[in-house]
Amino acid sequence: MSERVRRRVVVRGFVQGVFFRDSTRREATRRGVAGWVSNRPDGAVEAVFEGSPADVAALVEFSSRGPRGADVREVSVSEEPPEELSGFEVR
């Protein structure tokens, strides 16, 4: 089995109400990345990406710009041990 990595991202700025979660889900599904994405009460979006290093890096990069209409101001990224997630969900 190929190497698997996991990253948790917290995206701040104007990121709620602009289809950030659904756009992230579509991009993750297209790349075969597992995990989840959720709106936080503080106005940020939080996501966990798990998959190949290249595909996870692409999702982190996507998060740094977001969909059209988003205004990303800050992205925090942390490494976590993979949990062998499958599928991608919007929470």
**CATH number attached to the domain at 5-82:** 3.30.70.100
Catalytic residue among 21, 25, 31, 65: 21
pLDDT over 80 at 1, yes or no? no
Any long-range contacts for 28-37 (C-beta under 8 Å, 24+ apart)?
Answer: 28/59, 28/88, 29/88, 31/55, 31/58, 31/59, 33/59, 33/88, 34/85, 34/86, 34/87, 34/88, 35/6, 35/85, 35/88, 36/85, 36/88, 36/89, 36/90, 36/91, 37/88, 37/89, 37/90, 37/91
pTM metric for this prediction: 0.95
Indicate which residue of 39, 65, 68, 73 is catalytic: 39
Question: Is 31 labeled as catalytic in the residue annotation?
Answer: no
- pLDDT of 45: 98
pLDDT in tens, 6-39: 999 999 999 999 999 999 999 999 999 999 999 9
What would the mean pLDDT of 68-85 be, rounded to a whole number?
Answer: 96
In tens, the pLDDT along 37-74 reads: 999 999 999 999 999 999 999 999 999 999 999 999 99
Q: Where are the domains of the chain?
A: 5-82
Q: For residue 21, indicate whether it is catalytic.
A: yes
